[in-house]
Chain A
Amino acid sequence: MCGAPDQDTLPALEVSPREAVVHGFVTRDGSALAGAYVRLLDSTGEFTAEVQSSATGYFRFYAAAGDWTLRTLYRGGSVDAAVTAEQGSAVEAQVVVPD
């Protein structure tokens, strides 16, 4: 398997000591935004991974420790959010899409 897994059916989150998870929700006007394309870019701006937000707006990446950018594409535009991942833990990021 190599494709982005369905974010609606992910297993419960278990963070291994060697992983650095970045996860969170995409919202617009306070409500979950499903089907947005969330792209994980590394500190140089290079693409690393992409998933589509679930019905609840949820997304999850297994990154490495360091600074990342979440670039979220939706119908009508895109928005960037910065996040710092830490080894052995899950960092939650909120992506707010403008109205």
Chain B
Amino acid sequence: MSRADVLVDADWAEAHLDDPGVVFVEVDEDVSAYDGGHIKNAVRLDWTTELQQPAARDLIDRDDFSALMSRKGIGNDDTVVLYGGNNNWFAAYAYWQFKLYGHDEVKLLDGGRKKWELDGRELVKDVPERPTTSYVASDPDLSIRAFRDEVVASIGSKNLVDVRSPDEFSGKIKAPAHLPQEQSQRAGHVPTAINIPWSKAAADDGTFRSDDELSKLYGEQGFDDSRPTIAYCRIGERSSHTWFVLHELLGKTDVKNYDGSWAEYGSLVGVPVQKDV
């Protein structure tokens, strides 16, 4: 697998907007972004309400993923191109979920909404009508998903990559700084985790760094290629971005996303927590 198999640029996207086998999917937490204008022919996925079970705080299951895809008019053989706001955080989360349920052809649009907007490319308000499909998801591929017990057992033995900002890692703040800081969980990080913020993997405009730059970044920050890896953040979307970098762009093996992330780990009773401030 190469970068071209998993990542497309805006020029490629513009040239394929009307391709029948290509489905553009905008993934946002804030649905108003799509309503205000989206890439032509793109359908919408709401990260909060459609890709998660809100009450259980878990991913939707295989049957619900199949039903969601069918409802959106996405077929098993379609090439899905994901993009979104927040530097593609939620698009990367969706990408990881598409892979979890076995979708073959899925790609990220490099730079997402931000790059598209800063380039001054066209956004439209027309909502496409796609006929429903009979999508069949595969059983979840748990080789790319980590759960809390595995994280605790991995302390000191696997690459635990905390991709939050340095102030969240140290425990100085509990959430990204665009959010109020009143959170229930403890501040800090999993002991032995290394802090490689997701943002180091992207330029200001949200596009990914080159493969050479990315390899150098993780090498310099203490990433051990001989060990399995678990990436985490606060709720699993920024770590999906880093999972995409490590597993899809750099082709590293045995990389999992811990989607429970700090919102879960930092609320557990009796697990070790390192706080630096």
Contacts and interface: CB of A to CB of B under 8 A. Distances in A.
B198 to A, nearest CB: 9
Contact of A73 (B48, B175, B205, B234): B205
A2 B90 CA distance: 9
Contact of B177 (A52, A61, A71): A61
Interface in B209-262: 233-235, 237-238
Contacts of B28: 3
Band of interface residues on A: 20 to 34
Contacts of B205: 73
B182 A2 contact: no
Contact of B180 (A19, A37, A74): A19
Contact of B166 (A1, A42, A50, A51): A42
Contacts of B180: 16, 19, 62
B266 interface: no
A51 B197 contact: no
A48 B30 contact: no
A4 B30 CA distance: 8
Contacts of A75: 117-120
B29 interface: yes
B177 to A, nearest CB: 4
Given A49-B177, A62-B179, A5 B30 contact: yes
Given A44-B166, A49-B176, A37 B181 contact: no
Nearest to A59: B178
Interface size grouping (class) on chain B: 35 or more
Given A2-B235, A46-B199, A51 B178 contact: yes
Interface string B180-220: 11100000000000000101100011000000000000000
A77 B167 CA distance: 28
Q: Could you tell me the dominant secondary structure of chain B's interface residues?
A: loop
B173 interface: yes
A6 B179 contact: no
Contacts of B119: 75
Contact of B114 (A6, A37, A49, A64): A37
B178 A61 contact: yes
B178 A5 contact: yes
Nearest to A14: B180
Given A1-B29, A1-B48, A62 B166 contact: no
B199 A2 contact: no
B165 interface: yes
A75 B81 CA distance: 24
Interface of A: 1-6, 16, 18-19, 35, 37, 39-40, 42, 44, 46-52, 60-64, 71, 73-75, 78
Q: Which are the 9 A-B pairs with shortest beta-carbon distances?
A: A47-B199, A3-B29, A49-B177, A49-B178, A4-B178, A61-B177, A48-B165, A3-B86, A2-B235
Interface of B: 28-30, 32-33, 47-48, 85-87, 89-90, 114, 117-120, 165-167, 172-173, 175-182, 197, 199-200, 204-205, 233-235, 237-238
